[in-house]
Structure 1
Amino acid sequence: MLACIFLDEVDELTERLVRQAAPKNAQVLFLSEIEENKRAEYLEKADALLTATYIVDEKLLRQCKNLKIVQKTGVGTDNIDKKAAAALDIKVDNVPGGNANGVAELTMGLILAIYRNLIPLAALGHRGKWAMWEYRGASFEIRGKVHGIVGFGHIGKRTAQLSRVFGAKLIYYNRTRQAEDIEREYAVKYVPLDVLLQKADIISIHLPLTKETKNLIDAKRLKLLKDNAVIVNVGRGGIINEEALYEEMKKGRFAGAGIDVWAKEPFDSQNKLITLPNVIATPHVGAGTLDTMREVYRLCFEKIIAACD
């Protein structure tokens, strides 16, 4: 029987979905449900750890004498000490593509919400105000706009497919340029990052957080953007410099920003961006659909079984 410990504290629905996805030869325990004085004992015997955002550092890894794999329930593994894991011969894995559709749909939802002013219109409606005409001069369609996709992995590709259906013109930046047949398949044109930032009406970010991507979109680069640009970050917090973004937006620049990932999670009332009316602030829910969760947990256990075989 494989011993698997889910490190994050989760709600009842998530716990049920994880247990449903687990194979019959796997025992799933949740760290938050294990008495503190017994946690070390269970961790020492664990074959696999599952983590969403829980920090898996060297100290924790060294406690797990029997550990074969640390399985991320998403894509970005920046919360796992991969160097320490490698030194201890522990595999680190993720589920690339498992959440691609969910995150891509949220990307498009945020763009639409900003372009069509859905948040302020809904708020007015709840107050009984019929605001049929108030936002027409500040509402736009995706069709014909230039959508710049920063990061062209599974999520970036799925976003391109959806945006193309809306009639956007697609450009992209990626550390490694895609092959010509991929560019043709997705109808995208590669451009350097600074060119993308200057040309795009819509910019969506789909990158992991690394040394190279931290503060990639800084104060200097934000000044390259069009004044009416839409910015969406569903990649990782820390890629956009949040303080610099706030400084630009409080001047009235940008049509709006949709931010699902934050430099500090959970964000708090000290984050100035959440005070701006044209910032849609969501709490890292890109992959937070029932459909995505089922698929992701299925893939997680598939990888755990393979690693422990």
Structure 2
Amino acid sequence: MAKVISLVPKDRFITTGVTIPHYLDFIFSETRNENEIVELCKYADFIFASSGTTYISAGTIKQINTIRMIQIDGVGYEKVDVEFAAEHNLPVANNAGVNSTTVAESALGMIIALQRRYLIADKWIKQGRYEEMHRRFVAEGLHELADKKVGLIGLGAIGTELAKLLHILNADIYYYDLVWKSPEVEAEIGIKRMTLDDILTECDIVSLHTPLTEQTKNMINEKALLKMKKSAILINTSRGEIIVQTALAKVLESGHLAGVGIDTIYPEPPSNTHPLLNLSKTAKERIMLTPHIAGVTLGAFKRMLVNSIDNFNRALADEPLINVVNGIPKARNN
């Protein structure tokens, strides 16, 4: 029986109805302490890691000699030292694309909620200020997506799915990526190329869909934020570290940006002193926060678990793994 150290909670299997095969011995743990992870991994075959929350450093990898592969439940793998794992012939696999539409739906929902100012409308109506709210919205005007310039920074699986949704709603869609799509793909999804600087300065809505790398960390700093239109909307469903949190708070307090939607605050969880949790009343009205749930629907969770079990089966059968992120095609043999 193959032993799996699961840092993904057992409840995930229960709520999604996914059955663990009898030949896989899942040992569940909530620990994020690397010394405890090393201890758990003695004589184990696989690690099932939680995306974005499980650190597996070079020091840990050195000590988990029996582990044949590391499987991540979600898409992000920045917390795992994938290069060091590759040097030790240890494959790391994720669930690329498994929740692309899920996250794209969430980003679109944030855009529309901020455009139509649903948060403040809900709050004021519950305070008995219905007529005041109605007069204000009619006087100031609300926006729709048709003909709005939307800039996507990063056009991977999630960015592509969001572009498709925006195209249906007649938005004018642009993107910036380190790797451009072919003209045929761009035409198919109705999207045009634009430099990063032009996206920031020209677009009405900017949505972030980049992985967290040394190049993207703190990419959206105060200078970048101030390049955006005062009336612009900023969405982040990627990683919190891409935006400098203090800079975003400062810009919001200055009255810049019409709306901000953040699913991935940094750090997670935030402390009570986090700058985005201590904004003035007017600044708070323009920011929408969710607790990193853009991609965690039951449907997405089920696909993650099913795909991960499939990869464990591939490893046991000595078959090529899917969604390997560090170039090691098969599970190592010990």
Asked if Structure 1 and Structure 2 have the same fold, meaning a TM-score greater than 0.5 normalized by the shorter chain, the answer is: yes
Mapped partners of 1:104, 1:40: distance in 2: 36
> 1:21, 1:294 within 8 Å by CA — same for their partners in 2?
no
Mapped partners of 2:122, 2:36: distance in 1: 49
Query: What are the Cα deviations for residues 64-90 of structure 1, in whole angstroms up to 9, with x where unaligned?
Result: 221111111111211111122122221
| Structure 2 residue corresponding to 1:187, chosen from 180, 186, 190 | 190
1:294 aligns with 2:297: no
| Structure 2 residue corresponding to 1:204, chosen from 201, 204, 207 | 207
1:57 aligns with 2:57: yes
After alignment, is 124-133 or 298-307 more displaced?
A: 124-133
Query: What are the Cα deviations for residues 180-219 of structure 1, in whole angstroms up to 9, with x where unaligned?
Result: 1110111100111111111110100011100111111222
After alignment, is 275-284 or 202-211 more displaced?
A: 275-284
Residue 27 of structure 1, CA deviation = 2.0
RMSD over aligned Cα, in angstroms?
Answer: 2.2
| Counterpart residue number, 2:28 | 30
Residue 42 of structure 1, CA deviation = 3.9
| Counterpart residue number, 1:132 | 134
After alignment, is 191-200 or 54-63 more displaced?
A: 54-63
Distance 1:67 1:139, change over 3 A: same
| Counterpart residue number, 2:46 | 48
Mapped partners of 2:216, 2:23: distance in 1: 40
Residue type matched to 1:32 in 2? E
Q: Give TM-score scaled by structure 2 length.
A: 0.85
> 1:17, 1:297 within 8 Å by CA — same for their partners in 2?
no
Percent of aligned positions that are identical: 28
Mapped partners of 1:237, 1:248: distance in 2: 16
| Structure 2 residue corresponding to 1:213, chosen from 202, 212, 216 | 216
| Structure 1 residue corresponding to 2:155, chosen from 146, 152, 155 | 152
> 1:198, 1:226 within 8 Å by CA — same for their partners in 2?
yes
Residue type matched to 1:126 in 2? K
Count of residues paired in the alignment: 305
> 1:104, 1:155 within 8 Å by CA — same for their partners in 2?
yes
What secondary structure does 1:189 align onto?
Answer: strand
Mapped partners of 2:187, 2:29: distance in 1: 47
Mapped partners of 1:21, 1:288: distance in 2: 19
After alignment, is 268-277 or 200-209 more displaced?
A: 268-277
Distance 1:81 1:105, change over 3 A: same
1:241 aligns with 2:244: yes
Q: Give TM-score scaled by structure 1 length.
A: 0.92
| Counterpart residue number, 1:120 | 120
Residue 225 of structure 1, CA deviation = 0.6
Distance 1:69 1:17, change over 3 A: farther
| Counterpart residue number, 2:227 | 224
Mapped partners of 1:26, 1:237: distance in 2: 35
What secondary structure does 1:301 align onto?
Answer: helix
Distance 1:79 1:161, change over 3 A: same
